[in-house]
Amino acid sequence: MSRNLTFEQILQTLLDEQAEWKNAYVHPLSDLEGEKAARFDALWPEIPPARKVEMLSAMENEADDNTLLSFEHVCRLAIADPDPQVRFLGVRAIEIYEPDDLIETLCKMVVEDPDENVRAVTAATLGRFVYLGEIEAIAQARYQLLHRALLEVARSEDTDAVRRNALEALGYSGDPQVDELIEEAYARPDTEWQISSLFAMGRSYNKRWHKQVLEALDHRLPLIRSEAARAAGELEIQAARPRLIELLDDPTREVRMAAAWSLSQIGGEGVRAALLDLQSQNIDDEEYEFLEDVLDNLTFNQEFELFNLLEIDLPDDLEDDFDLDLRS
Protein backbone atom coordinates (compact mmCIF):
# COMPACT_ATOMS: atom_id res chain seq x y z
CA MET A 1 0.00 0.00 0.00
CA SER A 2 1.38 3.36 -0.98
CA ARG A 3 2.27 5.95 1.62
CA ASN A 4 0.54 8.64 -0.46
CA LEU A 5 -3.08 7.69 0.10
CA THR A 6 -5.88 10.08 -0.70
CA PHE A 7 -7.95 11.51 2.13
CA GLU A 8 -10.85 9.18 1.29
CA GLN A 9 -8.54 6.16 1.18
CA ILE A 10 -7.23 7.03 4.62
CA LEU A 11 -10.77 7.26 5.96
CA GLN A 12 -11.54 3.83 4.55
CA THR A 13 -8.34 2.46 6.10
CA LEU A 14 -9.42 3.83 9.47
CA LEU A 15 -12.76 2.06 9.15
CA ASP A 16 -11.17 -1.28 8.24
CA GLU A 17 -9.24 -2.85 11.13
CA GLN A 18 -7.83 -5.48 8.77
CA ALA A 19 -6.22 -2.90 6.48
CA GLU A 20 -2.51 -2.18 6.83
CA TRP A 21 -1.74 0.91 8.91
CA LYS A 22 1.32 3.17 8.80
CA ASN A 23 2.11 6.20 10.93
CA ALA A 24 2.56 8.39 7.86
CA TYR A 25 -1.10 7.93 6.99
CA VAL A 26 -1.99 10.54 9.61
CA HIS A 27 -0.28 13.39 7.72
CA PRO A 28 -3.36 14.29 5.62
CA LEU A 29 -5.35 14.45 8.87
CA SER A 30 -3.33 17.46 10.00
CA ASP A 31 -5.11 20.84 10.15
CA LEU A 32 -8.52 19.44 9.28
CA GLU A 33 -11.10 22.07 8.41
CA GLY A 34 -14.11 22.69 6.19
CA GLU A 35 -15.52 19.75 4.24
CA LYS A 36 -12.72 17.40 5.26
CA ALA A 37 -13.29 18.12 8.93
CA ALA A 38 -17.03 17.57 8.52
CA ARG A 39 -16.45 14.30 6.67
CA PHE A 40 -14.02 13.08 9.33
CA ASP A 41 -16.37 14.08 12.16
CA ALA A 42 -19.24 12.18 10.58
CA LEU A 43 -17.17 8.99 10.35
CA TRP A 44 -15.59 9.28 13.80
CA PRO A 45 -18.23 7.17 15.64
CA GLU A 46 -17.75 4.38 13.09
CA ILE A 47 -13.98 4.10 13.50
CA PRO A 48 -13.16 1.06 15.69
CA PRO A 49 -11.60 1.99 19.07
CA ALA A 50 -8.47 -0.05 18.36
CA ARG A 51 -7.92 1.88 15.13
CA LYS A 52 -8.44 5.19 16.92
CA VAL A 53 -5.75 4.15 19.40
CA GLU A 54 -3.38 3.32 16.53
CA MET A 55 -4.12 6.64 14.85
CA LEU A 56 -3.70 8.77 17.99
CA SER A 57 -0.44 7.02 18.90
CA ALA A 58 0.84 7.70 15.40
CA MET A 59 -0.24 11.33 15.64
CA GLU A 60 1.73 11.78 18.85
CA ASN A 61 4.85 10.30 17.28
CA GLU A 62 4.55 12.25 14.05
CA ALA A 63 3.83 15.55 15.83
CA ASP A 64 6.96 15.06 17.93
CA ASP A 65 9.02 14.69 14.76
CA ASN A 66 7.33 17.45 12.76
CA THR A 67 6.09 20.56 14.56
CA LEU A 68 4.29 21.74 11.42
CA LEU A 69 1.72 18.99 11.86
CA SER A 70 -1.35 19.75 13.96
CA PHE A 71 -3.84 17.08 14.95
CA GLU A 72 -5.74 19.27 17.38
CA HIS A 73 -9.06 18.73 15.61
CA VAL A 74 -8.79 14.96 15.99
CA CYS A 75 -7.69 15.27 19.62
CA ARG A 76 -10.76 17.35 20.39
CA LEU A 77 -12.93 14.49 19.16
CA ALA A 78 -10.87 11.96 21.07
CA ILE A 79 -11.22 13.56 24.50
CA ALA A 80 -15.01 13.12 24.27
CA ASP A 81 -14.86 9.54 22.98
CA PRO A 82 -16.69 6.78 24.91
CA ASP A 83 -13.55 4.61 24.95
CA PRO A 84 -11.23 5.45 27.90
CA GLN A 85 -8.01 4.59 26.06
CA VAL A 86 -9.00 6.93 23.23
CA ARG A 87 -9.78 9.69 25.73
CA PHE A 88 -6.45 9.04 27.45
CA LEU A 89 -4.47 9.45 24.24
CA GLY A 90 -6.52 12.44 23.14
CA VAL A 91 -5.87 14.31 26.39
CA ARG A 92 -2.19 13.46 26.34
CA ALA A 93 -1.72 14.49 22.73
CA ILE A 94 -3.68 17.74 22.91
CA GLU A 95 -1.34 19.34 25.46
CA ILE A 96 1.12 20.62 22.86
CA TYR A 97 -1.60 22.70 21.19
CA GLU A 98 -2.41 24.57 24.43
CA PRO A 99 -6.16 24.89 23.71
CA ASP A 100 -7.12 27.08 26.65
CA ASP A 101 -10.78 27.06 25.56
CA LEU A 102 -10.83 23.42 26.71
CA ILE A 103 -9.73 24.21 30.27
CA GLU A 104 -13.29 23.95 31.61
CA THR A 105 -13.76 20.60 29.87
CA LEU A 106 -10.46 19.26 31.19
CA CYS A 107 -11.25 20.50 34.71
CA LYS A 108 -14.49 18.54 34.59
CA MET A 109 -12.69 15.46 33.30
CA VAL A 110 -10.02 15.51 36.00
CA VAL A 111 -12.75 15.32 38.63
CA GLU A 112 -15.52 13.33 36.97
CA ASP A 113 -14.10 11.01 34.30
CA PRO A 114 -14.92 7.42 35.32
CA ASP A 115 -11.49 6.12 34.29
CA GLU A 116 -8.57 6.60 36.69
CA ASN A 117 -5.96 6.73 33.93
CA VAL A 118 -7.89 9.44 32.11
CA ARG A 119 -8.18 11.51 35.29
CA ALA A 120 -4.47 11.06 35.94
CA VAL A 121 -3.35 12.09 32.45
CA THR A 122 -5.76 15.03 32.53
CA ALA A 123 -4.20 16.25 35.77
CA ALA A 124 -0.76 16.00 34.16
CA THR A 125 -1.91 17.84 31.02
CA LEU A 126 -3.38 20.68 33.09
CA GLY A 127 0.12 21.37 34.38
CA ARG A 128 0.88 23.04 31.08
CA PHE A 129 -1.98 25.45 31.66
CA VAL A 130 -0.85 26.18 35.22
CA TYR A 131 2.44 27.36 33.73
CA LEU A 132 0.61 29.45 31.14
CA GLY A 133 -1.50 30.94 33.91
CA GLU A 134 1.56 31.85 35.94
CA ILE A 135 3.05 33.76 33.01
CA GLU A 136 -0.35 35.37 32.32
CA ALA A 137 -0.70 33.73 28.91
CA ILE A 138 -4.30 32.66 29.55
CA ALA A 139 -7.30 34.48 31.00
CA GLN A 140 -7.14 34.84 34.77
CA ALA A 141 -10.65 33.41 35.19
CA ARG A 142 -9.62 30.22 33.40
CA TYR A 143 -6.45 29.98 35.44
CA GLN A 144 -8.37 30.33 38.70
CA LEU A 145 -10.80 27.62 37.56
CA LEU A 146 -8.09 25.08 36.80
CA HIS A 147 -6.11 26.01 39.92
CA ARG A 148 -9.17 25.33 42.09
CA ALA A 149 -9.88 22.07 40.29
CA LEU A 150 -6.34 20.78 40.76
CA LEU A 151 -6.28 21.78 44.43
CA GLU A 152 -9.57 19.94 44.88
CA VAL A 153 -8.14 16.82 43.27
CA ALA A 154 -4.85 16.98 45.19
CA ARG A 155 -6.80 17.11 48.47
CA SER A 156 -9.43 14.56 47.44
CA GLU A 157 -9.88 10.86 48.15
CA ASP A 158 -9.01 9.98 44.55
CA THR A 159 -6.27 7.47 43.81
CA ASP A 160 -2.67 8.34 44.59
CA ALA A 161 -1.75 8.44 40.90
CA VAL A 162 -4.35 11.11 40.15
CA ARG A 163 -3.53 13.16 43.24
CA ARG A 164 0.22 13.00 42.63
CA ASN A 165 -0.24 14.23 39.06
CA ALA A 166 -2.38 17.08 40.36
CA LEU A 167 0.37 18.02 42.80
CA GLU A 168 3.00 17.92 40.04
CA ALA A 169 0.79 20.08 37.83
CA LEU A 170 0.45 22.64 40.62
CA GLY A 171 4.22 22.80 41.01
CA TYR A 172 4.37 25.83 38.71
CA SER A 173 2.05 27.74 41.05
CA GLY A 174 3.37 30.17 43.63
CA ASP A 175 0.36 29.59 45.88
CA PRO A 176 1.31 28.97 49.56
CA GLN A 177 -1.38 26.27 49.65
CA VAL A 178 0.63 24.36 47.07
CA ASP A 179 3.81 24.76 49.12
CA GLU A 180 2.01 23.09 52.03
CA LEU A 181 0.96 20.18 49.82
CA ILE A 182 4.52 19.76 48.55
CA GLU A 183 5.87 19.71 52.11
CA GLU A 184 3.28 17.12 53.14
CA ALA A 185 4.13 14.93 50.15
CA TYR A 186 7.87 15.14 50.79
CA ALA A 187 7.36 14.12 54.43
CA ARG A 188 5.38 11.00 53.51
CA PRO A 189 7.12 7.63 53.96
CA ASP A 190 6.20 6.82 50.37
CA THR A 191 8.68 6.84 47.50
CA GLU A 192 6.22 7.86 44.78
CA TRP A 193 4.89 10.79 46.80
CA GLN A 194 8.44 11.93 47.54
CA ILE A 195 9.27 11.77 43.84
CA SER A 196 6.19 13.82 42.98
CA SER A 197 7.10 16.40 45.61
CA LEU A 198 10.60 16.75 44.15
CA PHE A 199 9.10 17.05 40.66
CA ALA A 200 6.85 19.86 41.89
CA MET A 201 9.78 21.54 43.65
CA GLY A 202 11.70 21.59 40.39
CA ARG A 203 8.81 23.30 38.64
CA SER A 204 8.39 25.92 41.35
CA TYR A 205 11.56 27.91 40.66
CA ASN A 206 11.49 28.61 44.42
CA LYS A 207 14.63 28.78 46.55
CA ARG A 208 12.77 27.49 49.58
CA TRP A 209 13.20 23.95 48.25
CA HIS A 210 16.98 24.02 47.84
CA LYS A 211 17.61 22.29 51.18
CA GLN A 212 15.26 19.39 50.46
CA VAL A 213 16.61 18.87 46.96
CA LEU A 214 20.22 18.91 48.13
CA GLU A 215 19.57 16.33 50.82
CA ALA A 216 17.66 14.10 48.39
CA LEU A 217 20.73 13.93 46.13
CA ASP A 218 22.19 11.56 48.74
CA HIS A 219 19.10 9.36 49.05
CA ARG A 220 19.65 5.60 49.03
CA LEU A 221 17.03 5.07 46.30
CA PRO A 222 18.10 5.77 42.69
CA LEU A 223 14.59 6.96 41.74
CA ILE A 224 14.76 9.72 44.33
CA ARG A 225 18.38 10.60 43.53
CA SER A 226 17.51 10.98 39.85
CA GLU A 227 14.45 13.15 40.55
CA ALA A 228 16.45 15.29 42.97
CA ALA A 229 19.17 15.67 40.34
CA ARG A 230 16.59 16.81 37.80
CA ALA A 231 15.07 19.28 40.27
CA ALA A 232 18.50 20.68 41.11
CA GLY A 233 18.96 21.63 37.48
CA GLU A 234 15.50 23.12 37.11
CA LEU A 235 16.11 25.22 40.23
CA GLU A 236 19.67 26.03 39.09
CA ILE A 237 21.09 25.20 42.52
CA GLN A 238 24.74 26.19 42.30
CA ALA A 239 25.53 24.38 45.55
CA ALA A 240 24.46 21.11 43.92
CA ARG A 241 27.28 21.20 41.35
CA PRO A 242 29.90 19.14 43.27
CA ARG A 243 27.40 16.42 44.16
CA LEU A 244 25.99 16.31 40.63
CA ILE A 245 29.50 15.81 39.26
CA GLU A 246 29.89 12.89 41.68
CA LEU A 247 26.58 11.46 40.46
CA LEU A 248 28.01 11.20 36.94
CA ASP A 249 29.62 8.02 38.33
CA ASP A 250 26.39 6.72 39.86
CA PRO A 251 25.79 3.03 39.08
CA THR A 252 22.27 3.82 37.89
CA ARG A 253 22.03 5.17 34.35
CA GLU A 254 18.95 7.32 35.01
CA VAL A 255 20.76 9.08 37.85
CA ARG A 256 23.82 9.74 35.68
CA MET A 257 21.72 11.16 32.87
CA ALA A 258 19.65 13.37 35.18
CA ALA A 259 22.82 14.68 36.79
CA ALA A 260 24.41 15.34 33.40
CA TRP A 261 21.45 17.34 32.11
CA SER A 262 21.20 19.36 35.31
CA LEU A 263 24.88 20.20 35.13
CA SER A 264 24.26 21.56 31.63
CA GLN A 265 21.62 23.84 33.16
CA ILE A 266 23.75 24.97 36.09
CA GLY A 267 27.15 25.16 34.37
CA GLY A 268 30.21 26.43 36.15
CA GLU A 269 33.79 25.35 36.77
CA GLY A 270 34.65 21.76 35.95
CA VAL A 271 31.30 20.88 34.40
CA ARG A 272 32.34 20.55 30.76
CA ALA A 273 35.43 18.55 31.68
CA ALA A 274 33.36 16.17 33.81
CA LEU A 275 30.82 15.66 31.03
CA LEU A 276 33.51 15.06 28.43
CA ASP A 277 35.16 12.56 30.76
CA LEU A 278 31.89 10.65 31.08
CA GLN A 279 31.42 10.70 27.32
CA SER A 280 34.91 9.25 26.80
CA GLN A 281 34.09 6.19 28.89
CA ASN A 282 32.78 2.89 27.57
CA ILE A 283 29.13 3.87 27.12
CA ASP A 284 26.53 2.82 24.56
CA ASP A 285 25.49 4.88 21.54
CA GLU A 286 22.28 6.12 23.14
CA GLU A 287 24.09 7.48 26.18
CA TYR A 288 26.80 9.01 23.99
CA GLU A 289 24.22 10.83 21.84
CA PHE A 290 22.39 12.01 24.95
CA LEU A 291 25.64 13.51 26.23
CA GLU A 292 26.06 15.28 22.89
CA ASP A 293 22.71 16.98 23.56
CA VAL A 294 23.83 17.75 27.11
CA LEU A 295 27.00 19.43 25.88
CA ASP A 296 25.02 21.42 23.31
CA ASN A 297 22.67 22.58 26.07
CA LEU A 298 25.63 23.57 28.24
CA THR A 299 27.05 25.64 25.38
CA PHE A 300 23.69 27.30 24.79
CA ASN A 301 23.27 28.20 28.46
CA GLN A 302 26.82 29.53 28.69
CA GLU A 303 26.25 31.71 25.63
CA PHE A 304 22.96 32.91 27.08
CA GLU A 305 24.75 33.83 30.30
CA LEU A 306 27.33 35.72 28.26
CA PHE A 307 24.55 37.70 26.61
CA ASN A 308 23.32 38.65 30.07
CA LEU A 309 26.77 39.68 31.25
CA LEU A 310 27.21 41.86 28.18
CA GLU A 311 23.68 43.22 28.64
CA ILE A 312 22.71 42.21 25.11
CA ASP A 313 18.96 42.02 24.59
CA LEU A 314 17.79 38.76 23.04
CA PRO A 315 14.79 38.72 20.72
CA ASP A 316 11.55 38.16 22.64
CA ASP A 317 10.90 34.79 21.01
CA LEU A 318 14.33 33.46 22.05
CA GLU A 319 13.84 34.66 25.61
CA ASP A 320 10.43 32.95 25.71
CA ASP A 321 11.88 29.69 24.38
CA PHE A 322 14.68 29.77 26.94
CA ASP A 323 12.31 30.46 29.82
CA LEU A 324 9.97 27.69 28.70
CA ASP A 325 12.87 25.23 28.51
CA LEU A 326 13.78 25.95 32.12
CA ARG A 327 10.25 25.37 33.38
CA SER A 328 9.11 22.44 31.25
Give, as one character, the DSSP assignment of residue 93.
H
pLDDT of residue 232: 99
**Nearest partner of 241 among 207, 283, 272, judged by Cα:** 272
pLDDT of residue 2: 39
**Nearest partner of 123 among 98, 86, 149, judged by Cα:** 149
**Nearest partner of 14 among 54, 57, 42, judged by Cα:** 54
User: Crossing angle, helix 222-234 and helix 191-204, to 10 degrees?
Assistant: 10
Give the dihedral sign, CA 281/282/285/290. Answer: negative
pLDDT of residue 306: 72
Does this model's pTM top 0.95?
A: no
Backbone phi and psi for residue 237, each to the nearest 5 degrees, phi listed first: -80, 105
pLDDT of residue 307: 67
How many Å apart are CA 279 and CA 260, to the nearest integer?
10
pLDDT of residue 315: 61
CA separation, residue 53 to residues 16, 246, 291 (Å): 14, 43, 33
Query: Kindly report the CA angle at 174 between 172 and 178, in degrees rounded to 5?
Result: 85
What share of residues in the chain are helix, strand, coil (percent, to 5)?
75, 0, 25
Q: What is the mean pLDDT of each run of 10 residues along the chain (328 residues)?
A: 76 93 93 97 97 96 93 98 99 97 98 98 98 97 98 98 99 96 98 99 97 98 99 98 98 97 97 96 93 97 75 58 49
- What single letter denotes the amino acid at residue 320? D
